[in-house]
Structure 1
Amino acid sequence: MINFERLTMKATEALRLAANDARGRGNPEVDGPHLLGALLEQEEGIVLPVLQKIGVQVDGVRARVQERIGRLAKVSGGADPTLSRELRAALEAAEKKARELGDEYVSTEHFLVGLASARGDARAILEEAGADEDTVLEALDTVRGSHRVTDQTPEDTYRALARYSRDLTDLARQGKLDPVIGR
């Protein structure tokens, strides 16, 4: 079973959102689509850039996630949902992939790889969108670069350059730079 103390803040938040979604919908289990939906809602995370790098239509994936969640079993009562077999397998695959990549913590990108590799609804949704385990790993390597997950907030450093700088080459291509006069 996954060590929840070795999760990053965003990974913990995603699991909490997935559990809250399952509870709110009356689902007895937190399943892969719940977690995938939670990952897609994290605007500041690394999952969206990875999927966009692959060319995935994120809105289409969101719609498929909601459709699959809508078909899950519902129960009445206040019992907390448990982790489904699919989600446990995905979390274990995520932890294994984190170790293989030399990361100290399990992050949201590991969850995405785990969901893409573990048999179930989330994997089917990702594969339909063109994001199988291999393409996710390739895109992750491009987006993440040589960064490793060594603390609980690695997502803040992955895209720091994009967040705190301007791509002058891209702005020049778009004609949005003022010409330099007098040189």
Structure 2
Amino acid sequence: MKENFSKRVQNILKKAKEEAIRLGHSYVGSEHILLGLLKEQSGVSHKLLDANGIEYLEMIAMIEDLIKESGGTMTLGHLPLTRRAERVLRNAYSEANSRGCSIADDEHLFLAMLQENEGIAFEVLKTFSLDSDLVSDYLTDIVLEKDTGSPNIEKSSKSQTPTLDHFSRDITKLTHIGKLDPVIGREKE
């Protein structure tokens, strides 16, 4: 299963297990995975949280308040994943495949948690006004930026108007991909 996930996701899962142990739980749930993701502090999911002005520490505090420390015995051996956590990991890999990636990264894991529609992790994300549509749109924008980034340079050198291409931008194209702010009174194109 490790080969299906990036090093970042493997670190997130390691941190999730550490969080479960720290909180005295005998399992690793989606809430622990979300804690691990928040404590990783890198990747596309963190860029998304930053772009939406969401404080990691606030989210971490909310999760910890909801799950509370268990007074149970400390587990040092293998901590099993809950069914929901297993489903989140499977869905993250499926999401990566559907987006043309062979390895699931943190953004796929984040999206899989939002698609779960139940559980502590989902409730916390919903409280912070995050939903799967927002994350999916953000991922699509990132892919479009990557696609239009370097190939544009190649196109402009073959263009009949390279100087114009360099010093201007195609507002019709930007409108179609949703990158142009709407103007008051202008109908949606």
Same fold flag (TM > 0.5) = yes
RMSD: 2.2
1:100 counterpart = 2:111: no
1:36 counterpart = 2:34: yes
1:112 counterpart = 2:104: no
Q: SS at 2:12's partner residue?
A: helix
Task: Please show how residues 58-97 of structure 1 align to structure 2 within 5 Å.
Answer: 58-70=56-68, 74-97=72-95
Q: Which has the higher helix share?
A: 2
In the TM superposition, what whole-angstrom CA distance separates every residue of 1:48-98 from its partner, at most 9, and x where no partner exists?
111222343433212112222326684444332110112111111111111
Amino acid at match of 2:31: P
CA distance in 2, matches of 1:98, 1:74: 37
1:121 counterpart = 2:120: yes
Q: Which moved more, 1:41-50 or 1:101-110?
A: 41-50
How far did 1:12 drift? 0.5
How far did 1:47 drift? 1.4
Mark the structure with the bigger radius of gyration. 2
CA distance in 1, matches of 2:93, 2:74: 33
Q: TM-score, normalised by structure 1?
A: 0.71
How far did 1:25 drift? 2.4
**Structure 2: 5+ residue runs without aligned partners?**
148-189
Cα pair 1:116 1:133 within 8 Å, conserved: yes
Amino acid at match of 2:129: G
Q: TM-score, normalised by structure 2?
A: 0.69
Count of aligned positions: 146
Amino acid at match of 1:66: E
